[in-house]
A and B are shown apart, each in its own frame.
Chain A
Amino acid sequence: MVEDPSIPSSSSSQMSEDDDRSPSLDLIDGPIPSTKSRNCSGVSVSGGGTSVEYTVPYPDQVLENVLENVLCFLTSRRDRSAASLVCKSWYRAEALTRSELFIGNCYAVSPRRATARFTRVLAVTIKGKPRFADFNLMPANWGAHLAPWVSSMAKAYPWLEKLCLKRMSVTDDDLALLAESFAGFKELVLVCCDGFGTSGLAVVVSKCRQLRVLDLTETEVMDDEVDWICCFPESQTFLESLMFDCVECHINFEALEKLVARSPSLKKLRLNRHVSIGQLYRLMVRAPQLTHLGTGSFNLSEGMAQGDQELDYVSAFAACKSLVCLSGFREILLDYIPAIFPVCSNLTSLNLSYANITAEQLKPVISQCHKLQSFWVLDSICDEGLKAVAATCKELHELRVFPVNAQEDAEGPVSEVGLEAISEGCRKLRSILYFCQRMTNAAVIAMSKNCSELVVFRLCIMGRRRPDHVTGEPMDEGFGAIVMNCKKLTRLAVSGLLTDRAFSYIGKYGKLVRTLSVAFAGDSDLGLKYVLEGCHKLQKLEIRDSPFGDTALCSGLHHYYNMRFLWMSSCSLTRQGCWAIARELPRLVVEVMKSNEGEEEGDNFDTLYMYRSLEGPRDDIPQFVEILRPGI
C-alpha cells in the first residue's frame, strides 16, 4: 500500500487507518488473565497501575526475556494486542516493549490508565474530535483537550520523542509544557488541530533542541505576532521536516532562509502562501536535497511585477534531483508552471488542489508524470483534465478531486465522464475522493470493475439526494457494485439519492468496511439496520440528515462495543432511543448535543455522538453537551 506521509491529512501513514490492521480494542479492561505459572503469585492487576511483585525463577525469567526481545519486532497494533491477551506474562512483556502508543479516541481511555500500562513509550498518537467537526457540525470547545495527556506524559514519559495529534485542542500552554518536559523530543505532527498560536510554536522550536520534525497540516495557528522562525536554535539544527503550509501568518523570511541554510538534514519543506516564488527560489538553491516541497504561493510577492527579477526557476527545480513530492501552488501564476517540468518525471506525489487551472494548463505537467502515485487536484481541470491524468498516470494509487466552487448548485466541471476515464486508465487505483455535481451508476459500476484494488471510495455528489442524472435512478446500484466488486474496500462515503437498498448492499457485501460516511440518504430504519447487522468490521460510522431512528439505533447494540464511535446528527432519533442505548451499554459514553448554544433546555438535540470508553463520562463537557448516564 503506497503511503505518502507528506500528503496532508488522512493519507498520512500515521493518521490513516484505511490500510492499517488495528485491532478493535487497544486496551482491555478488567483483570488480566492470570497464568498458572509455577512460582508466580499471580496477582490480578487492573489497568490501575499498581505494580505487581513476585519472585520469578530463572526459567521463567529467560522466557520473559526472550519474549521481550521477540516482541520488539512486533509493530502492528493488532498483533500486539493479540499477544497481550495470551497470558499475564505476555501481557506484561508486551506492555514493556510497546514503544508506539496509538489512542484512536482520546476519551476511550484516560492518560493515567494508558501511561500506567505502557511505561516505555517513545511515540504517541492521539486522535480527538470526530471528523464531522471539520465541517462546523460541532461547536467549538467540545473537548479533545491535549492538556491532561501532556501532563500525564510529562511524568510518565520523560524520554518521549514523538507526538502526533489529530483533531485535538492544543493550547500554547500545552506546547510549553511539552517543550519543558521532553528533553529528547524529536517530532511533532499536528493534523487538523487548533487552539494555539505562534507563541506556542516558538516555545517548542526554541526548547526542543533535538527537533527533527515539525509538521503542521490543516491546523489552525493563531497569529500571536511572535516570530517563531527566529526561535530555532542558532546552531545547526536536526530538522528533517518543516511543514507549515497551513499557517496563515506571515513569517520572517530572512530567518527562514538562514534556518534552511543551517539545516543540512532538511528533506521536507512546506511553505505557506506568504512565501513568494522569489523566496522559494532562494530556499531551493540552499536545499537541493529536498524530497518534499510545498512551494508556497508560487507567485510573485505583493507589489512585485514580472521583470523585476527573472530568476532561473527551472534550474532551481532541476537541481532538486531527489524531489518526489510537490505541493503548494497556493496562488499560482501560470507563467511559472514550466518551472516544475524538470521534476515531473520523478514525482510520485503532486498536490495541485489549491491551483485553479484548466485542463490545457494541466496537460503539459501531467503528461510527464509517469510515476505519479498520488494526485490531488481541483475540478477546474474538468473531465478533460482527468482524461489526461488517466492517459499518463498508470501507477496512480490515490486521486482526490476537490471542488473549486463548493456549493450545491454550481456548475459541475467534472462528472461521470471523468470518473470513468480514470477508472479506465488508472487500474491500480486504491483510494479516491471525488466531488462532483452529477454522476451515473454506470460510471461507478465501471470503476468498481476496473479498479479492483480500491480500498477507499468516497464519492461526494454535491447536490443532495441527486439521482443518476441519465437514468433518474437512485445511486444504489453504483455503490452496490463498489462494495460487491471491490473486495478490499475498507472505507466508503456515499452520496446522491440512495434508498435502503443501497444500504442492504453495503451490509451484505461490505464485510471489510471499517469507516462509513452517510449523508442525506436512506428511506427508513432498515437502511441503518442493514449496515449495523451486516458490516461486522465497522468501526467508525458517521451519519447526518438521514431518516434513521431509534429502532435502527437499537439494532446495533450487539456491535457498538466493537466500534470506535457512532455519529448521528439531524436524524430521527429521540432521547428515549439514546437512553435505551445508554442503559443497555454502560461502557458506552452517549453524548447528545445541540449545535446551537443558547437554545432553551428541552428534549431535543441535534447530534448523537457515542463511543466506547473505559473511563465513563468525561468531566470536561461543555455546556451544550449532555452525557446520558443511567442512574446509579
Chain B
Amino acid sequence: MDKLYNMICENNEEVVVRANKRGYVAAEDKKLELRLGPPGGEDRQSLLSLGCCNNNNNNNNIPHEAKRVCHEEKKEERKWLANSSSSDPAASASELTNSAAAPDSDQKSRIVHAPVVGWPPIRSSRKNLAIRSSSSSFTNPAADSESPNETSKEGNGKSDSSTYSKHHMFVKINMEGVPIGRKINLKAYDSYEKLSFAIYELFQGLLAAQRVCCDVEKEDKKGETKSKTESLHGNGEYTLLYEDNEGDRMLVGDVPWNMFASTAKRLRVLKSSQPSTLQLSSGQHEKTPLDSTVEVGI
C-alpha cells in the first residue's frame, strides 16, 4: 500500500496528496489515473469504459470493509482520479469498480460487488428477509425451503456485516439475585483472571449495596489462588457459569481461554451453594417456561 502512495507522490510533484493507510487522496491535480491489478498480479481485470458518462471523474468507492473482503474479490479494477477521489487506499486491489459504466450497466455478466458497510441503507432488522420472511402456504411450501419458523437468523444482525465484531463480543452476564444484568465484552480480555476481575468490578457496586455481610469484600478475584477455577470462584462464594453456542451450561475455566471466548454466549454468576440445582442443560429450558405451555389445546 505504501508503494502506491510513493508512486503517486513521485509521479506528480504538483499533486498534493494527503494519504495514509486509511485516509483519503485529496489530490489537486486533474486526470491523475492509476490502475491497479488484483493482488498476485493475475490479470483478471476487465476495463469498464466510463467514456459515455458525463462524469469523467468517477469515484471508486472503497468500502470500509475492504480489509475483510480483501481476498474475496471477483473482478476488480481501480481508477484513481484526482480531485474527486475518495478512495480508501487501504483496500488494496481487491476493489470493486463501480458498475455505473453507462453502456455496461445492463450487461448480464454483472460485476459482483463485495458488500459495502451500510449499503444499501437498510436497518439490520430488515435484512435477511429472503430467509425469514419466505412466505409459505400449505399447498405451496416456501420455495426457499426454509421453514418460516426458522429462528436461526436473529434479528439483531447489527453484528453481521460489521467489523466491530472483531473487537467486540458482548455477552450478557447476570448475577443471581441481581435483577438487572450487565454486558461484558469478552474480547477485551485475554485470560480468565482478567475476566474474573472485570466481573467482580462490574458487580461490585451492586453487591456492596445488596450484601448484608462483608464476606464478598474478602474475595480476591485477582487470581492469587492456585487454579483458574479457584480464582474465578474466589474463596468459593460464587460460581461462574457460561452458556455456549449450543445452549449448554458449562463451568467457566474448563476450556482454553480462546475456545471459551469464541463460544460463550452469556455468563451467569451463581452463589456456589447452588451447584446441585444447576441445570447443565440446554439454555432453552432456562427460559421462562412459556414455549412448553403455549399452544397446547388451542
Contact = CB atoms under 8 A, between A and B. Distances in A.
Contact of A254 (B26, B85, B140, B290): B290
Contacts of B57: 523-524, 547
A227 B287 CA distance: 9
A423 B295 CA distance: 45
Given A132-B118, A463-B99, A404 B21 contact: no
Contacts of B125: 218, 246
Contacts of B84: 522-524, 547, 572
Given A135-B121, A464-B98, A574-B26, A199 B179 contact: yes
A376 to B, nearest CB: 10
Interface string B265-298: 0000000000000000000001110110111001
Given A331-B132, A599-B22, A570 B106 contact: no
B129 interface: yes
Nearest to B283: A225
Contact of A361 (B119, B135, B155, B174): B135
Contacts, number: 290
A79 interface: no
B290 A251 contact: yes
A136 B130 CA distance: 20
Interface string A249-267: 0111110000000000000
Given A463-B99, A497-B55, A572-B24, A136 B61 contact: no
Contacts of B88: 570
A134 B112 CA distance: 25
A404 B154 contact: no
Contacts of A172: 180-181
Interface stretch (B163-171, B216-224, B230-238, B246-254): B163-171
A441 interface: no
B25 A407 contact: no
A547 B133 contact: no
Contacts of A544: 118
Contact of A248 (B110, B122, B155, B168): B155
B298 A309 contact: yes
Nearest to B101: A467
A224 B172 contact: yes
Contact of A408 (B18, B119, B124): B119
B148 interface: yes
Given A136-B162, A299-B149, A330-B133, A499 B55 contact: yes
A137 interface: yes
Interface stretch (A11-19, A70-78, A580-588, A590-598): A590-598
B127 interface: yes
Contact of B130 (A134, A356, A571): A356
Interface residues of A, number: 113
A604 interface: yes
Given A356-B135, A572-B84, A278 B55 contact: no
Interface stretch (A33-41, A94-102, A103-111, A469-477): A469-477
B126 interface: yes
Contacts of B23: 574, 602-605
A20 interface: no
Contacts of A132: 118, 121
B136 interface: yes
Contacts of A499: 54-55
A361 to B, nearest CB: 7
**Secondary structure dominating the interface of A:** loop
Interface in A555-572: 570-572
A139 interface: yes
Interface in A304-347: 304, 306, 308-309, 311, 330-335
B11 interface: no
A220 B54 CA distance: 44
Contact of A250 (B55, B133, B167, B288): B288
Interface in A593-617: 594-599, 602-606
Nearest to A199: B180
A604 B113 contact: no
B98 A520 contact: yes
Interface in A452-486: 460, 462-467, 469, 472-474
A435 interface: yes
A331 B148 CA distance: 6
Contacts of B167: 597-598
B191 interface: no
A460 B136 contact: no
Interface string B63-88: 01000000000000000000111101
A106 to B, nearest CB: 20
Contacts of B62: 570
Nearest to B61: A545
A203 B54 CA distance: 60
A596 B164 CA distance: 7
Contact of B164 (A139, A224, A464, A523): A139
Contacts of B83: 524-525, 547, 549
Given A276-B295, A405-B130, A523-B57, A460 B120 contact: yes
A404 B98 contact: no
A572 to B, nearest CB: 5
Return the 6 tightest CB-CB contacts between A and B, nearest first: A135-B118, A465-B100, A472-B102, A604-B23, A547-B84, A334-B137
20 contacts: A136-B158, A222-B183, A223-B172, A227-B290, A250-B287, A254-B294, A278-B295, A334-B135, A335-B138, A354-B129, A355-B135, A361-B135, A403-B122, A406-B127, A407-B113, A547-B84, A572-B86, A573-B24, A574-B26, A604-B20
Given A136-B124, A251-B290, 7 more contacts: A132-B118, A299-B149, A332-B135, A404-B130, A409-B112, A462-B120, A602-B23
